[in-house]
Chains A and B, each alone.
Chain A
């Protein structure tokens, strides 16, 4: 087995453990490269037919290309797609023109997901985060319990030995499950190349710019790049010295914004 086989098999093992423990499971699909890779791995784990729904939390501020991509592949892969918005907040006029990024993120992403979990009674959510994205994420567990108001008790996380994952954290409301935790950004692109996974066009350079990470339009900035193919992106990543999420302004507002966001339940 090569490096990518090892990563792939570990992820499939985690996904199958998750489904065994939690039948009320959902996959959070942000339409970005990581969660699309996770979706690809789930299709492999279940022989092409996902036995659980795929959730898109729609802030309504995503790029048009993301909506097109979502609808195309949801149909092609026959996904049971749940699109969820915090309509009440949108009606109140929450948006990037009038509110700061942390408020928008909390209202339009976190609260929308909270409402959905409560409504559909999800017990576990598969999320495509990776340890190398941010120092705080490096501290995550594969099975990570969340309380009802979504807090992540990072000071007292469950012990996780080898690949025995704790399923019955009793005080928790639901479990976040992270099958891609051990992948790096470069691994993801190498796997996308090997598997020929469909990826949003926004990741490829147009007029000297491309997106390295996709979030809400008003707070996601493209990077300078001439990479128009997966191969070129891989070559670029091998030499870059900037962090992946540098284009996401919410991470930088304070040194601890990410920790704040995460303990509030942000993915």
Chain B
């Protein structure tokens, strides 16, 4: 875990953080409102005599022991729920697209957030689920079919190159490729993997800049990663906010029941845009989850 030492000064409680990283990740699911209700699903969980508790920050979300066989219960194949990491559910809940909106999910595969957003929209409006890789976006198709989600178009394109002809969007999810350190409770090997950080941060910036270009004035954009690295989080936001001063603004996140730490405004000798404190750094001990970073932005001018 020495790869984590660089975060010692920025984690709010190092002991709790390290203890949480040693624990297996709980299994978590969210209820598909197009198919059933949380109450009906609970009826099934009881039938299976599973121990569970509600996830406080996700309506219809449930948490189980790490080895609960939630991916192999009958209601799963009928699309009553989706298995997804709890912390990853937060991003869509924070963007909270409304029925009838035109939504872009720029890096969508395997599609948990797409499915969540499309169901939040009650199947109305449309979600463009895009990814660079055809093979990865194909995994999304199975989820959409299983859950009866009929308002999604899946596409293959580089998110940094999505062009004018896609028209403007009311809400955009930029859940960008990253070094994935926050997945360490699921797979500790993520910490040993080498990444070309310069390449990644440039791509992340390009994707966020393009999210701005594709957003309608007034639209919200969620920028998220599953990594702890400030270079891929606050530093990307800093560059983009500086370039788009007066056009793109940070927005306060409101997700009752969820715990988080404020985004950093200082990293390795560099002061960052003060509004980045509105972003959420979610360490594994906050919500007994993986690690995540979420920023909510609003396009205020073209």
Bind each other = no
Q: Which residues of B line the A interface, CB within 8 A?
A: none
